[in-house]
Amino acid sequence: MKLKFLLKKSLLKTIENSVGTKMFRSSYYILAGKETDILKNGGLSCALYVSTVLYVFKLIAGPHATVAGTIKDLEKSGWRKVSSPGPGDVLVWRPAKFKNGSKHSHVGFCLASNYAISNSSKLGYPVKHHITFGTKGTKPIIKIASIYRYELGSKRG
């Protein structure tokens, strides 16, 4: 019996099942001669989460600790920008300001037309949320800067 791997369905189920996992919280490096968790116990883990899931499915070249590195790999791996989100797309949100005054871009997955899954900087693990994190009045809390899509049927199934 010949089996056919259903890549998109498997990818979407993996994304959905990742909610609450703590496996993407830390990544250790030597920084200024000192061992450091550069992801701050999950506070900055969005890129590692997204890139690791995509790497498992061979949709990018490797895992990344930064949004910029993840975007660069998406573009090199054949992902293209699209104008409207769909299930399995990678979403990049505009930089948000943190309590300490720093600004960081954010990356996650589109799950359905109005829902996404991304790493929560407050909780330190992936959560399901509105695609724009909700609204303040009629305006999105965080606007989407770009949307990347990989045509799963094109090269890798």
Categorize the per-residue pLDDT at 91 as very low, low, confident or very high, splitting at 50, 70 and 90. very high
* pLDDT reported for residue 157: 44
pLDDT tens by residue, 95-154: 987 777 888 899 999 998 799 999 998 999 999 999 998 878 888 888 999 999 998 665
Reduced to 3 states, what is the DSSP secondary structure of residue 80?
strand
**Class of the 7-149 domain?**
alpha beta
Going from N- to C-terminal start, the domains of the chain cover 7-149
- Distance, CA of 96 to CA of 67 (rounded, Å): 13
